[in-house]
Amino acid sequence: MPNEQIRVLYQELRDIKQLVGEIEQRIDQLEQIFAAALHDAPLASVESLVSAQTLNITTPPADSGAGPSLVMLGPAAGPDAEELYPNGIDAVSGRPLLKINAAAVAQLGQDEKERIDLDLKDLHGQKVASYVHSLRLRQERSGQARDDEPPLDVAVQASRDVDKKELEVLGTIADIDQNSIGEARWAVVVHAQEDVAVLQALWPLIRHRMGQMGYEKLDFDFQSGDTSCAAWLNRHTDNGKKTLKGGQREGDWRAIQIGRA
């Protein structure tokens, strides 16, 4: 084996020995601190160990060729200068994989917001302004102009402007106006075995929403035999054979969904 290789291996051995020695020293310190905490050692020795430990932390270790994989320490003072080690410790070197302080973390978070494409942001603003303006014009023509009227969802209006028509959807919300209850729909979920009193207490709100969604049949009563929400629903739907709209199915019932678990 060439002397140069032997020299490299010998240096690695010395580095490992130094690292092992530091680990052993740290273990001894922790052992004594824990022993003191359990009243197995005098308090004075703990204070001296803490002082020594602080000195070791603030004193740069001997250069052994091994250090943190990444250092990101931003200029800071006070609490912002606190070092963080989110990636843990390297098992071989015993040093943090990432050294970063609170100031650098805060800076990274602020920079993330600035990475938004400014052109796309400007385009989005122009579209919103255009949609709001178009909505105001339609309201003025219909005599229903209101300054506090919310605009249609941007994605909804965009798709409608492209196709120039109302789009049909299959259970998705991509082309649904979330500001319109009649279009977005509304629901309340109750357990099948829940006391019918819960449903009865919610009924004024349910009835109001049904009217907003265009349902005509709203006169649903509550009887003493309705021991649960499921019993109430079965009575009004002939055990599920009919809809709450009565008789023929004119559309999906969305006001009440009885959960069965």
Question: What are the φ/ψ torsions at residue 5 (nearest 5 degrees)?
Answer: -65, -40
pLDDT, tens digit (0-9, with 9 covering 90-100), for 47-59 = 444 444 444 444 4
Read out DSSP for 136-163? HHHHHHTT---TTPPPPPHHHHHHHHHH
Domain definitions of the chain by residue range? 1-65, 118-181, 185-259
The reported pLDDT for the residue numbered 46 is 44
User: Is-contact 213 186, C-beta < 8 A?
Assistant: yes
Amino acid at 188: V
Among candidates 56, 65, 59, which has minimal Cα distance to 15? 65
Question: Which of 57, 85, 92, 91 has its CA nearest to residue 70?
Answer: 85
Contact 103, 75 (CB under 8 A): yes
Q: What are phi and psi of 100, to 5 degrees?
A: -150, 145
Straight-line distance from the first to the last Cα atom of the chain, in angstroms, rounded to the nearest whole number: 73
Q: Of how many residues is the chain composed?
A: 261
Lowest mean pLDDT among 103-112, 224-233, 248-257: 248-257
Half-sphere exposure of 197 (CA within 13 A, CB side): 1
More confident residue, 17 or 63: 17
Is 256 in a helix, a strand, or coil? strand
Whether the pTM exceeds 0.75: the reply is no
Q: What is the mean pLDDT of residues 234-258?
A: 59
Phi, psi dihedral angles at 228 (to 5 degrees): -150, 170
pLDDT at residue 172 greater than cutoff 70? no
Residue 180 DSSP class: -
